Amino acid sequence: MARELDKKVIQAWTGHPHLRVIDNSKDFEQKLNRVLYEINSVLGLPQAIVEERKYIVELIGEIPSDSVKSYIQQTYLSSEPGSEVRIRRRTTGHHTINVHTTRRRISSTEEIVTERQVTNALYESLLQQADPYRLTISKRRNSFIYKGQFFELDTYEAPHDDLMILETKGIAAHADLRLPPFLKIVKDITGDTDYYNYNLALRK
């Protein structure tokens, strides 16, 4: 029953800019630190830079039918040095949400991230500020829980149509990963800046 409730909560909140999932793979103190980190993120307070575990993967089975399926278009906007500004349109079923995100690094170990939901009209207007050196990223996302861990599986359509990336939430060490059986790891890209969306969007 707990698993079913988890799935229903994820389905209800998927797409919301402040969705955060604290899995049960850590002890209480680590969970508490994770909660404080996410609260700082929502409030736009300075926080330590934390790398989520990310992998290039290959699909070797069936994605669970109860995963939450979304379509994402992500466009980076022109911004000042040291900042990343993007707008993202995420469509889940018949529901669409637009989120404007600013990420600003204030030191080698800290950054400030702010997110806000924007209307369709403002979204279309902000597209006029698109970074001319970057293309819009289009990808299909499957969000799901496996053995108490939350995952996002992105299948890219543009500008890379042969890339599938699995991102974990709140898993600091590879040894803690509970890899779903329908996926095979091709490469661990945690911390590899070449695979940051900001860089994947670069025009070649």
**CA-to-CA dists, residue 172 to 30, 32, 34, 116, 148, angstroms:** 10, 14, 11, 27, 15
Which CATH number does the domain housing residue 170 bear? Answer: 2.40.320.10
Tell me the per-residue pLDDT of 132-185, one tens digit each, with 9 for 90 and over: 999 999 999 999 888 878 899 999 999 998 899 999 877 778 888 999 999 999
Contact of 63 with 142, CB cutoff 8 Å: yes
Tell me the per-residue pLDDT of 54-107, one tens digit each, with 9 for 90 and over: 999 999 999 988 898 999 999 999 998 889 999 999 999 889 999 999 998 887
Instruction: Work out the mean pLDDT of the chain and round it to a whole number.
Output: 84
Strands 54-59 vs 68-77: parallel, antiparallel or unpaired: unpaired
More confident residue, 144 or 28: 144
Tell me the per-residue pLDDT of 35-50, one tens digit each, with 9 for 90 and over: 655 665 665 555 555 6
Contact of 124 with 89, CB cutoff 8 Å: no
pLDDT at 152: 93
Give how far the C-alpha of residue 29 lies from the chain's centroid of Cα atoms, to the nearest Å. 24
pLDDT at 110: 82
Contact of 171 with 38, CB cutoff 8 Å: no
Give me the domain span that covers residue 98: 2-200
The count of domains in the chain is 1
